[in-house]
């Protein structure tokens, strides 16, 4: 293998997602798309056929994950499928190259555009993050997110079976089911409203079980969270309102919780950091949405904190747009709500990879794993905001962004 493509990232401090601390002044050797070894910088290989990238003391860590994303932004009314596809591809690429998001799990994408992008990115036809695709967001008539263009209303048990089969045939990795209302929506779409009839719930989960499809369940009240967990949901999204029984069920069923803090925490009166203030200004959500968010935030925060304390498996998913800002905002909110920087980083790397069933190949900086890596200028274990100072991004062993000249 003498002429195999080799990349050496030299003079990096490594946060590998396994050991607790930082390995100082190391070099990460990448070969054939995988991490070959991590050595002291002084022992870094050099010579013909080896591309050496001097990172000048940047902090190297696994690429970031966001396990609850929508590619849309800004919303384009009456856009064609072609226009949406181009917009999503650009937004996904920007998240990879400008924020270091090397993998995402989609939570609602119209026309299976996420499946198409996944294939294009995997084949190297376009540059973008790894995608774990869920296709359409399956809800009901008078359901949630109907104005987004990515929600597909389905009614009745048989219709759910058909819709889910169509998604499977279309190539999705998981099924997104919308069990309740949410924060953003009309008056008849509130997070304490549950949407499915018992027969619809049974049928939708049964066909997913039968076909081995993981269910990503949007469930925002305790009743729906528990129903989803009892029926075998792989992950529960949002969980604004839960109860002790729900927390116990997460652990009993070994299911994941994706809290999406940004949905209730990012309003003008709550934004504190520069990043948050810029986001609320640009997003400019209507006052009615901000009121609904602020009415829900206290309970949401409390259940996030209790789930964290109870040892519920959790991964980082933002549900925010644009994707470029989303993961970093959500990581900041985890820390603001009491997670340690390390807990937030693990949620956005190793644990997210576990949730997606990809932990054997991804999510940490270890020899043998696929080389999806980022380097940032300062130590994110001291301050997660340092993740915003992106130096470079490697995906599948290839340098896809090199921002060293910015610093
Ligand atoms: Zn969502």
Is 224 within 8 Å of 241 (Cβ atoms)? no
pLDDT of 407 over the 60 cut: yes
**Confidence (pLDDT) at 3:** 42
Q: Residue 354 Cα, ligand 1 centroid: separation in angstroms? A: 20
What is the overall mean pLDDT for the chain?
97
pLDDT above 70 coverage of the chain, percent: 99
pLDDT tens digits along 44-77: 999 999 999 999 999 999 999 999 999 999 999 8
Distance 148 CA to ligand 1 centre (A): 10
pLDDT at res. 77: 87
pTM: 0.97
CA separation, residue 58 to residues 17, 46, 88, 374, 403 (Å): 16, 19, 30, 10, 12
pLDDT at 5: 77
Q: Is 2's pLDDT higher than 60?
A: no
The alpha carbon of 121 and the centre of ligand 1 are apart by a number of angstroms equal to: 22
* Residues around ligand 1, an ion, CB closer than 5 A: 107, 319
User: 58: CA distance to ligand 1 center in Å?
Assistant: 33
Report CA(372)–ligand 1 centroid distance (Å): 25
The residue-averaged pLDDT of 175-181 equals 97
Res. 116: pLDDT tops 80: yes
* Distance from residue 55's CA to the centre of ligand 1 (Å): 36
Please write the tens of the pLDDT for every residue from 251-296.
Answer: 999 999 999 999 999 999 999 999 999 999 999 999 999 999 999 9
Q: How far are the Cα atoms of 63, 160, 180, 348, 354 from residue 396, in angstroms, in the given order? A: 11, 37, 38, 18, 18
Q: If you measure from the C-alpha of residue 72 to the centroid of ligand 1, how many angstroms do you get, rounded to a whole number?
A: 11
Ligand 1 centroid vs 145 CA: distance in angstroms? Answer: 9
The predicted-structure confidence for 294-339, as pLDDT tens digits, reads as follows: 999 999 999 999 999 999 999 999 999 999 999 999 999 999 999 9
Per-residue pLDDT band for 4 (boundaries 50, 70, 90) equals: low
């Amino acid at each position: 293998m003498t002429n195999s493509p080799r990349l050496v990232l030299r003079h990096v401090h490594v946060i590998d997602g396994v050991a607790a601390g930082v390995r100082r002044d190391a070099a990460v050797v990448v070969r054939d798309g995988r991490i070959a070894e991590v050595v002291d910088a002084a022992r870094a290989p050099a010579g013909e056929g080896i591309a050496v990238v001097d990172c000048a003391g940047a902090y190297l860590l696994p690429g970031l994950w966001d396990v609850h994303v929508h590619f849309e932004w800004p919303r384009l009314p009456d856009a064609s499928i072609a226009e949406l596809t181009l917009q999503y591809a650009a937004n996904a690429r920007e998240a990879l190259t400008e924020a270091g998001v090397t993998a995402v799990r989609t939570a609602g994408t119209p026309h299976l555009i996420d499946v198409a992008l996944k294939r294009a990115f995997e084949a190297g036809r376009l540059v973008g993050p790894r995608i774990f695709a869920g296709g359409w967001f399956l809800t009901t008539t008078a359901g949630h997110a109907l104005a987004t263009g990515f929600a597909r209303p389905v009614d009745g048990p048989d219709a759910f079976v058909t819709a889910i089969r169509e998604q499977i045939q279309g190539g999705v990795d998981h099924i997104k089911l919308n069990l309740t209302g949410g924060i953003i929506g009309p008056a008849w779409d509130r997070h304490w409203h549950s949407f499915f009839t018992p027969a619809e719930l049974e049928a939708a989960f049964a066909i997913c079980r039968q076909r081995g499809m993981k269910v990503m369940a949007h469930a925002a009240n305790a009743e729906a969270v528990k129903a989803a967990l009892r029926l075998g949901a792989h992950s529960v999204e949002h969980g604004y309102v839960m109860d002790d029984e729900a927390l116990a069920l997460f652990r009993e069923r070994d299911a994941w919780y994706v809290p999406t803090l940004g949905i209730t925490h990012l309003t003008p009166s709550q934004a504190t950091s520069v990043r948050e203030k810029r986001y609320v200004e640009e997003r400019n959500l209507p006052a009615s949405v901000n009121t609904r968010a602020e009415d829900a935030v206290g309970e949401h925060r409390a259940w996030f904190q209790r789930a964290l304390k109870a040892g519920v498996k959790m991964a980082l998913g933002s549900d925010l747009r644009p994707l470029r800002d989303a993961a970093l905002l959500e990581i900041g909110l985890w820390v603001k709500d009491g997670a340690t920087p390390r807990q937030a980083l693990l949620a956005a790397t190793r644990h997210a990879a576990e949730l997606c069933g990809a932990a054997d190949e991804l999510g940490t900086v270890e020899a043998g794993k696929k080389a999806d890596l980022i380097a940032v200028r300062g130590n994110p274990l001291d301050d997660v905001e340092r993740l915003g100072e992106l130096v470079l991004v490697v995906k599948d062993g290839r340098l896809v962004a090199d921002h060293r000249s910015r610093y």
